[in-house]
Chains A and B, each alone.
Chain A
């Protein structure tokens, strides 16, 4: 079967793109993880990135992460903007000297030939105020379209990265739209088959986009979300306190505490989408989540995986 007719070719199916990227990064020594089982705003929130980026140990991983940005909901009417989408995330610690070349090789693997396409590294310094994280890098352009984020983490969860990890994030829908040559994300061929057997991205997700947009903007119970935020914040702190065995001893409760930080962050995102948080309050909520992330980061480096 030639690449063009293979339903699992990255240019023919959404799942083919994911499988190709997974195989590629597996061949480069990454562990291929599965998505984190919680609502997160981006692949960076997965503890495999946020926490594993900290500490001295080698860590190479790749995974798909479903990401939720409640505010980006458009009731399934916008072809480019969804409140739920997929990121493909790669994290390599320490960042290898040929990271740019590896990245370009991965593009080649999914069918982007550098002799035909204009590939560019355009300055884009990444910062996540909620995670207390920042790094320098680029948005990677293919023919004028941003297809990935490329970041050398300098600080995560308030901790200096030593050594620095390199993070690659591929926006899968946009990349697939480009590879398949479709202008509407819902028209993406999901399974690579044709005719009656063809399943599109819209078949899988359009109804979800409609329902969740209503939920995010209209129905989500804000009182409950405010409570959720406060409870998650409280529990995160309580768990961190409970797992803290003092100076020099390993911390025993970082991952569960970090889950609560993720919960608080998602509750905040929903409240923000519901429009019940004023501009000034917004800053203070972001700050509260950041404080949780920082506390988790500080605890993580007192664990085995954190290098303690």
Chain B
């Protein structure tokens, strides 16, 4: 079966866009083929700095024929209806339609529209230019004389040549006939820009890859990465060193070369006074080179560069050039480092933090100074729940952003935090305070470690909560894929800090109070204090719901059952679940809702999960559902809440009824006591005790008795079961 070879040869494509572009090319071309009814056996796309290539294997030579029957009006229908039908079906005379009949409609016309499939080659000649024109580059441009006219072709960089061949292995393939802005598709591409720039005539994918390779182009980015990785490792090994792995850099570097050649250079050992992370950041950001470490883990004064050519002198000139640039860069870095150290040693009282008054954090959220003051206030308050030393916390909160004023961080933003820790350590700040300067940014993601030092935990919580409350207050919430302020990450950070450190933090009152602190000086609430307050309450509730949402995502990512979160949240702990809507303002602000405390939510989820894994749990869940179904059906007749009154003991006829009644009151009380002590396992055990009585009740008792009073009483028992279980979880939210 025929194959397609498609190559778009251009000026250098940004490394960061190549992978996505290859995937887009494959998706768009194969998608359009499938849309046209053409299937294929396999497809793969590749990218180098100068080309995107796609191979689609096993295509049919023709699109399949299609046959469509279209029903028309009945025989004898008015002229206008017939004319419309002829037009829509593409017929010239009604005699071309056949007549069918069915018992209901009688006789009616049917047009048979047969479309012979087109040659795949022709189809491709239509699809490929469309794909080029509509290609989803993150940024595209116009160029050359053609750009004088509006609507000229856009591409990521000037597009220079197109290869598009189609045909089976056994024959010379045909060129897909199309032209786009003066570029004619053909079978000619070009080799490596410097090593072998000559034109290459290609037939199909197989010889294309081989000829490129002979022209010093490795088409497959994964192979380029593998070559770089292996060569880097070997060069390092020969010196008794190890490459500091850097997947992001490897991906980028592989996108900058068509023929990777790894070379090793060195720099003066004196530069190793500068912290290793700064050296690495310098060499990585500016030079896109890898650094190396010695067996003891310390940084070596060597680096690895990936060049794009096999130089005539074996790379000597290239190494010397790179070394010179790296020396200059490290001189700068060293200068920054020395300057910073001097500033930190001379200004130990941090008078320079005043500069933050002129640094905008966000135009609606004040200066960096304002933000630090907010973090300090919040951190102080949080000491009550984290148990951290308030004096150290305040010092850490005050200093935690100080490194943003340093030269090193100004030059390399990615070492923020780290430099704060190093400089603070250097001037003899308390070790917890110094650690917090770095650790308060953590965790930076789902896999990043969570700080455990109470000072770090406190400042990290304050930092993240301030961010969340602030952006919530100005209504800059994440939407869809857009989360420019990384608020999801901040919320996840709060959750992990609290859960992994066992911090008992009632979120709602904290959110409400800080929301107020954030807004009182702002726009809302100035003219109408009540409206301002309601707004803050709504925002705090909304933010709390966001936390719950992130908690669900986190548990799901960990493979836990996130439906249990809904079940647990649905009961709202011991308090009423609808506190937000109906609770008094005071309740709202002071917080009395177990859903506020994310640690408790997680513990309840764990206990519920463990319970539902037992025989008792599964059985009780089944009984609960049975009871809930019966109640739902009967409430339709008698009305919502018709059975919520307590059961009348005098009406309990059967032994099983009596037993369930007793069991419910025992279990309800036991669960309540357990929940007060936050002993969720005990609460679940109390529920487990219900299993036997409930099962026997359903075996022995007919709920819908003839006597209306007895029926109502039995339904009241089931409603009591629903209420008692809801103390620990809303079982109706449990999935499966």
Bound Cα distance from A183 to B324, whole angstroms: 8
- Give the residues in chain B near A136, CB-CB below 8 Å: 139-141, 156-157
B16 within 8 A of A: yes
A279 within 8 A of B: yes
- Give the residues in chain A near B297, CB-CB below 8 Å: none
With both beta carbons as reference points, the residue of chain A lying nearest to B16 in the complex is identified as A123
Residue of A96, A163, A183 ringed by the most chain B CB atoms within 10 A: A163
Are B141 and A164 neighbours in the complex by a CB distance under 8 Å? yes
Given contacts A116-B318, A152-B142, 20 further A-B contacts (CB under 8 A): A79-B328, A95-B158, A100-B11, A115-B309, A115-B312, A118-B311, A120-B256, A122-B288, A142-B321, A143-B317, A143-B318, A143-B325, A144-B321, A144-B322, A144-B325, A144-B326, A163-B142, A163-B148, A164-B141, A280-B363
Are A116 and B313 neighbours in the complex by a CB distance under 8 Å? yes
B15 within 8 A of A: yes
In this complex, the interface size class of chain B, counting residues with CB under 8 Å from chain A, is 35 or more
Bound Cα distance from A304 to B404, whole angstroms: 51
A138 within 8 A of B: yes
A119 within 8 A of B: yes
A11 within 8 A of B: no
B289 within 8 A of A: yes
Chain A proximity mask over B269-297: 1 for CB below 8 Å, otherwise 0: 00000000000000000011100000000
Are B325 and A145 neighbours in the complex by a CB distance under 8 Å? yes
| B624 vs chain A, min Cβ distance (A) | 60
Are A154 and B305 neighbours in the complex by a CB distance under 8 Å? no
Are B318 and A97 neighbours in the complex by a CB distance under 8 Å? no
| A122 vs chain B, min Cβ distance (A) | 7
8 Å CB interface, B1-24 against A:
11-12, 14-16
Chain A proximity mask over B325-367: 1 for CB below 8 Å, otherwise 0: 1111000100000000000000000000000001110010000
Bound Cα distance from A183 to B330, whole angstroms: 13
Q: Can you list 15 A-B contacts (CB < 8 A)? A: A95-B158, A97-B160, A114-B194, A119-B308, A121-B49, A122-B288, A138-B12, A144-B289, A162-B147, A162-B148, A162-B149, A162-B150, A163-B145, A164-B142, A164-B144
A-B residue pairs, 5 tightest by C-beta: A143-B321, A123-B14, A121-B12, A163-B148, A144-B322
The size of the chain A interface, using a CB distance under 8 A, is 39
With both beta carbons as reference points, the residue of chain A lying nearest to B49 in the complex is identified as A121
B146 within 8 A of A: yes
8 Å CB interface, A113-154 against B:
114-123, 125, 135-138, 142-145, 152, 154
Are B11 and A144 neighbours in the complex by a CB distance under 8 Å? no
B237 within 8 A of A: no
* Chain A contact residues, CB within 8 Å of chain B: 56, 79-80, 94-97, 100, 114-123, 125, 135-138, 142-145, 152, 154, 161-164, 166, 178, 183, 278-280
Decide yes or no: A279 and B359 within 8 Å by CB, A120-B308, A144-B305 being known contacts. yes
Chain A proximity mask over B363-407: 1 for CB below 8 Å, otherwise 0: 100000000000000000000000000000000000000000000
Are A163 and B12 neighbours in the complex by a CB distance under 8 Å? no
Bound Cα distance from A250 to B155, whole angstroms: 35
Decide yes or no: A163 and B146 within 8 Å by CB, A80-B328, A119-B194, A279-B359 being known contacts. yes
- Give the residues in chain A near B289, CB-CB below 8 Å: 144
B143 within 8 A of A: yes
Per a CB cutoff under 8 Å, which of A79, A97, A117, A123 touches B321?
A: A117
B307 within 8 A of A: yes
With both beta carbons as reference points, the residue of chain A lying nearest to B257 in the complex is identified as A120
Bound Cα distance from A144 to B289, whole angstroms: 9
Per a CB cutoff under 8 Å, which of A115, A143, A163 touches B194?
A: A115
